[in-house]
Copies of this chain bind each other. A is one copy, B any other.
Amino acid sequence: MRAIAERVFASETKDENVRDEISMFDVPEDCPILQTEMAHHLHTDDNKEKRWAGGSVTMDDFEVSCKGLFRALTIREKYMKLAYQRFPRTASQYLRNVEGESFKIEDQLQPDFTPLPKSGEDPFDFKTLPKNLGYVARMKEGLIYVYNDAAAADKHQPKDLPCPDYDTFIDDMNFLIALIAQGPTKTYTHRRLKFLMSKFNVHEMLNEMEEMKELKLNPHRDFYNCRKVDTHIHAAACMNQKHLLRFIKRSYRVDADRIVHKLNGKEVTMKALFESLHLHPYDLTVDSLDVHAGRQTFQRFDKFNAKYNPVGASELRDLYLKTENHINGEYFATIIKEVASDLEDAKYQYAEPRLSIYGCNPAEWTKLSGWFVKHRVFSPNLKWMIQVPLCFVQKRHNKYYRYICRNFVPHFGKMLENIFLPVFQATIDPQSNPELSIFLKHVTGFDSVDDESKHSGHMFSTKSPKPEEWDIVKNPSYTYYIYYMYANIAVLNQLRRQRGMNTFLFRPHCGEAGAITHLLASFMTADNISHGLNLKKSPVLQYLYFLAQIPIAMSPLSNNSLFLEYAKNPLLEFHKKGLVVSLSTDDPMQFHYTKEPLMEEYAIAAQVFKLSTCDMCEIARNSVLQSAMSHEEKAHFLGTDYLKEGPEGNDIRKTNVAQVRMAYRFETLCYELNLIMEGLKAEITTFPSTLEHISIFS
């Protein structure tokens, strides 16, 4: 298996420069792989493949594909459960059915998010923090272990917190790498996806009017008062360019004589700072501010990153867009609270901004949470996430380029320790760091960020150096990062769940660019992802994301400025096929023009892709499901049965999604899952895949 995986990996690394060619994971549109080629493939593939496929070479391609897809789903299910992440109930029921077991509703795990404070409750209340468990947490081989005490730690006798087994994980990964390159499965999934597309088109032609009728008869609710969540947005770019400009001008009117910065070791006033930049804020415009992405940033992530510096000056980025600076991040907190206040006014819009932890220094968490608590940066309309830039080392493209961890830590293991150890410690003894503990209550997950298109060339395998051994000036691969992020989150969630604390989701940036293996790693580890553009390149993964209903936060306006022209964005295609997509803004400062960036995102998608109201409301519903809103909020915004799948989980009065649409989606998913079960030829009782009351093809 490892040999196949290496071959596949090597071929992909090579492919990186020939983007337009058809990669190993793709199927040419006009010429699907033929039966003969598939047969050939089966004969030449090595024995291991035959073994896992479970039979002789004469076996039916259909069966091969189904067994592979089945196993892929069980792999994801396993890793989701381990980390208290989500796996759809319907798929689980099918999997149990195949295994001859019965599905129990209790088996379905859900993440825990802190509910909104009740009226009169203070979200920053220190008093209710749980007491110290006295455990000890230590990092070993890139993973944090929890011990009863220091003695147990010294002997490495960790507590029984299930964590992923390293070798099994690599095995599972290699299996999936082989699967996505396997001829029969590529052909099978390609055909199923084509079918899903055509089926939706037929559904649309037959039922569009029916859906519209349902929505017209649905009182009080329309697209405007459906809840929608901006599922992917960076705090440092969550305001639009005009907002930032106005804020800078306003701050100058009030604070010109205030000491706000240290320039060459000397404290200076805002006036002096602007003078040193040869600027007067009155003259400043969005043009001179220069934070908006333009034609220059397309395919240039480095140029894009430089856009985070207002007027190209890192001093202004420090002053206005950082949590740590001479004024303790006061301006940044104020700007975020203004954005939050706009969302609260709009009432139906929410956002999940990301704040950075770099792992360069163990004090980062304390500083960040200190900022959060000091400025009381809380809003019911914001759900917080932590983003970890995947850049252990990075070449400086220009003088403003970002943080380089390698200068601060001796090895990659230390970076991981800086990221996770403080969180474990605050979980074990919340009162030891009350501000961090409060902040963690409001943190809902981890994201990864960075330019995925820089391929590291390293293949993650059993032979990979352990994080403590990774001391070279070279970045680990995306998959390597992802594994260690996931594994630590999984253990952390086990511990937090035991203590009745909120858990964290893993929601990395994935598939914006770079290798297909990124999407494979996220299939194994992530609750949901951002971007996912590259699913276009692998029918097997695309089909698996569909079967497992993995939410994808897409940002077509961001892509339009960076990686992919708007009209070519696969959002519409994914949506039609039944993948769970939501719309997000990524960086309003760089991409958007209006005061309501999320509405701008929806409006443009609606116009360019000619989305119907039902489409838009379905995408909005997806965004709430994908988000880290608490159970109480989701029940309030989507209906109390939202955890049920299919039409019974939909409350049209809250979501404005037609039941006809929900029935179509559910039937379609069940049909595809059923097909896989049939391919396995196991003795399964036919699953109820038709809904008697709502016949969509009538």
**Residues of A bordering B, CB below 8 Å:** 208, 212, 215-225, 242, 245, 280, 282-288, 290, 294-295, 557, 560, 566-567, 592-596, 599-600, 602-604, 606-608, 610, 612-613, 656
Provide the residues of chain B in CB contact with A604, threshold 8 Å: 603-604, 607-608
Measured between C-beta atoms, what is the minimum distance from A345 to chain B in Å?
A: 12
Contacts A224-B242, A285-B220 known; A593 to B606 CB distance under 8 Å? yes
Q: How far is the CA of A656 from the CA of B283 in the complex (A)?
A: 13
Measured between C-beta atoms, what is the minimum distance from A132 to chain B in Å?
A: 51
Q: Are B606 and A608 in contact (CB under 8 A)?
A: no
* Contact sample, A vs B, 14 pairs, CB 8 Å cutoff: A208-B295, A219-B280, A219-B288, A220-B284, A223-B286, A223-B287, A224-B286, A225-B285, A285-B656, A287-B656, A295-B610, A593-B599, A593-B603, A600-B600
Partner pick for A216 among B212, B217, B288, B612, CB 8 A cutoff? B288
Contacts A604-B604, A607-B557 known; A287 to B593 CB distance under 8 Å? no
Q: Are B595 and A288 in contact (CB under 8 A)?
A: no
Measured between C-beta atoms, what is the minimum distance from A221 to chain B in Å?
A: 6
Provide the residues of chain B in CB contact with A295, threshold 8 Å: 208, 610, 612
Residue of B nearest to A294 (CB): B612
Q: How many copies does the complex hold?
A: 2
Q: Are A596 and B599 in contact (CB under 8 A)?
A: no
Residue of B nearest to A214 (CB): B287
Q: Are B594 and A600 in contact (CB under 8 A)?
A: yes
Q: How far is the CA of A384 from the CA of B238 in the complex (A)?
A: 39
Q: Are B600 and A287 in contact (CB under 8 A)?
A: no
Q: Are B599 and A287 in contact (CB under 8 A)?
A: no
Q: Are A285 and B607 in contact (CB under 8 A)?
A: no
Provide the residues of chain B in CB contact with A557, threshold 8 Å: 607
Q: How far is the CA of A221 from the CA of B283 in the complex (A)?
A: 8
Q: How far is the CA of A219 from the CA of B288 in the complex (A)?
A: 8
Contacts A287-B613, A287-B656 known; A566 to B603 CB distance under 8 Å? no
Q: Are A220 and B283 in contact (CB under 8 A)?
A: yes
Nearest 9 CB-CB pairings of A with B: A219-B283, A222-B285, A593-B603, A222-B286, A215-B287, A216-B288, A222-B287, A216-B287, A567-B567
Q: How far is the CA of A282 from the CA of B220 in the complex (A)?
A: 6
Q: Are B217 and A288 in contact (CB under 8 A)?
A: yes
Q: How far is the CA of A245 from the CA of B219 in the complex (A)?
A: 13
Contacts A218-B285, A224-B242 known; A603 to B592 CB distance under 8 Å? yes
Provide the residues of chain B in CB contact with A607, threshold 8 Å: 557, 560, 566, 604
Q: How far is the CA of A219 from the CA of B283 in the complex (A)?
A: 4
Measured between C-beta atoms, what is the minimum distance from A564 to chain B in Å?
A: 13
Q: How far is the CA of A602 from the CA of B593 in the complex (A)?
A: 9
Provide the residues of chain B in CB contact with A290, threshold 8 Å: 216
Q: How far is the CA of A148 from the CA of B295 in the complex (A)?
A: 64
Provide the residues of chain B in CB contact with A242, threshold 8 Å: 224
Q: How far is the CA of A284 from the CA of B224 in the complex (A)?
A: 12
